[in-house]
């Protein structure tokens, strides 16, 4: 498990001195998130040295990457290193670019929850939109001052399309319906501008919804599978949701990080939609997940209007033909396989939780 002390030691100015000879070096913002953890695994398998930027927090949030963390004192094995920085702090971004000297930069960090962005719009815009601009400018100035070339990946979102009818491709007009989506649109166009104005190798990956057992528990798919596991073992009886008629193009995050990497391996930078090209409603997700465990979702799910957004996005379905042709990429995990993968993981988690509850070590904190 990564310790705060180990991270601070990796912040020494010679943090990049021990890099493996000839290995490519990647800098990943948002490394502790779902996508960051899968991307780091992928890059390490490719032989990269990976540096991740993490925010200071009183709670050490490295659960998704603890299994691949190696103490930096073990220089022969520690090919992932962590450093404190923030997209709201331009000086920290430039400082670590100068120290790490990456070949590739993947900007995955964001306040990524759509519903939450309505509650903290200023913060969302500062991190998602202006944060991307800060990082782009840090990359540009570092390259200009050091005579280096860096390839840059910007994480976009299908939410940028908003109310534009599906299928949505790279040429589909954006119509964002939340502060998060509008901020992602700004980050997208900042990236295009830096590519055109400065010749920066910069790509936008417009990724449609991608899920996994590592998805945050307040996102609807993981909220469902987490609650389902607890319902199955008797720790919970009800699940409260909002608009279950909303339709999304859901894929597996582990598949999508390969597309990110492929974008930066092309001769020229470009923008790509990454999607399964299938759309399913939240209700269909409920049917597959609850049915897999022999339950009826109608016996446990209640609609709560507090989970409806001020402006809803009804249907997102990607057209990934460009990525399939240019990147030779296609998803490996289908919808039902993804749902069952998440249910299996969360059922095991619920069983472990049940053991602790029955032994009196933790409070069930049971919902209605």
Question: Tens of pLDDT along 44-57?
Answer: 999 999 999 999 88
Domain limits, the chain: 25-359
Quick one: tokens of 150?
Answer: 């860096």
Bridge partners of residue 82, in order along the sequence? 52
Q: For residues 43 and 34, what is the distance between their CA atoms, to the nearest angstrom?
A: 15
Q: Identify the pLDDT of residue 8.
A: 40
Q: What is the mean pLDDT of residues 33-42?
A: 98
Token pair 């009800």: residue: 238
| Cα 335 to Cα 56, 80, 194, 338, 342, distances in angstroms | 36, 31, 36, 5, 11
> Phi and psi for 211 in degrees, rounded to 5?
-125, 170
CB 339 within 8 A of CB 288: yes
Q: Sorting pLDDT into bands at 50, 70 and 90, what band is 367?
A: low
CATH architecture, range 25-359: 3-Layer(aba) Sandwich (3.40)
Q: What is the pLDDT of residues 162-214, one digit of tens each?
A: 999 999 999 999 999 999 999 999 999 999 999 999 999 999 999 999 999 99
> Phi and psi for 274 in degrees, rounded to 5?
-120, 120
Q: How many CB atoms lie within 10 A of CB 357?
A: 18
CB 115 within 8 A of CB 108: no
Quick one: tokens of 207?
Answer: 């990724």
| Active-site hit among 106, 180, 194, 256 | 180
| Active-site hit among 157, 158, 212, 289 | 157
Q: Is 157 a catalytic residue?
A: yes
Quick one: tokens of 46?
Answer: 């490719």
Q: What is the mean pLDDT of residues 128-144?
A: 98
Q: What is the pTM of this model?
A: 0.92
Q: For residues 24 and 121, what is the distance between their CA atoms, to the nearest angstrom?
A: 37
Q: Identify the pLDDT of residue 72.
A: 81
| Active-site hit among 104, 159, 211, 277 | 159
Residue 60 predicted with pLDDT over 90 = no
Q: What is the dihedral of CA 94, 95, 99, 102, to 10 degrees?
A: -20
- Residue 345, classified by CB atoms within 10 Å of its CB into exposed (0-12), middle (13-18) or buried (19+), is middle
């Amino acid at each position: 498990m990564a310790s705060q002390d180990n991270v601070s030691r990796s912040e020494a100015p010679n943090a990049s001195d021990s890099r493996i000879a000839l290995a490519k070096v990647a800098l990943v913002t948002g490394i502790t998130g779902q996508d960051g953890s899968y991307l780091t695994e992928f890059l390490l398998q490719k032989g990269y040295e990976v540096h991740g930027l993490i925010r200071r927090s009183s709670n050490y949030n490295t659960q998704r990457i603890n299994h691949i963390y190696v103490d930096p004192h073990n220089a022969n094995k520690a090919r992932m290193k962590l450093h404190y920085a923030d997209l709201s702090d331009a000086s920290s971004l430039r400082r670590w670019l100068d120290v790490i000297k990456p070949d590739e930069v993947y900007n995955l960090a964001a306040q990524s929850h759509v519903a939450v962005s309505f509650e903290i719009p200023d913060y969302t815009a500062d991190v998602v939109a202006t944060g991307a601009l800060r990082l782009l400018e840090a990359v540009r100035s570092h390259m200009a001052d050091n005579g280096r070339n860096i390839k840059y990946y910007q994480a976009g979102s299908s939410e940028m399309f908003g109310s534009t009818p599906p299928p949505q491709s790279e040429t589909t007009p954006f119509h964002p319906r939340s502060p998060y989506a509008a901020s992602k649109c700004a980050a997208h166009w900042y990236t295009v501008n830096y590519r055109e104005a400065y010749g920066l190798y910069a790509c936008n990956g417009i990724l449609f919804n991608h899920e996994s057992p590592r998805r945050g528990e307040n996102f609807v798919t993981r909220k469902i599978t987490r609650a389902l596991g607890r319902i199955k073992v008797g720790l919970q009886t009800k699940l409260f949701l909002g608009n279950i008629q909303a339709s999304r193009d859901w894929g597996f995050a582990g598949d999508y990080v390969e597309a990110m990497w492929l974008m930066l391996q092309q001769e020229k930078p470009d923008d790509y939609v990454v999607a399964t090209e299938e759309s399913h409603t939240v209700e269909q997700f409920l049917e597959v997940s609850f049915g897999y465990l022999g339950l009826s979702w109608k016996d446990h799910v209640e609609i709560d209007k507090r989970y409806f957004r001020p402006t809803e996005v009804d249907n997102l379905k990607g057209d990934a033909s460009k990525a399939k042709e240019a990147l030779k990429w296609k998803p490996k995990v289908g919808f039902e396989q993804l749902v069952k993968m998440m249910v299996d993981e969360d059922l095991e988690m619920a069983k472990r939780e049940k053991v602790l509850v029955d032994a009196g070590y933790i409070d069930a904190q049971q919902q209605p």
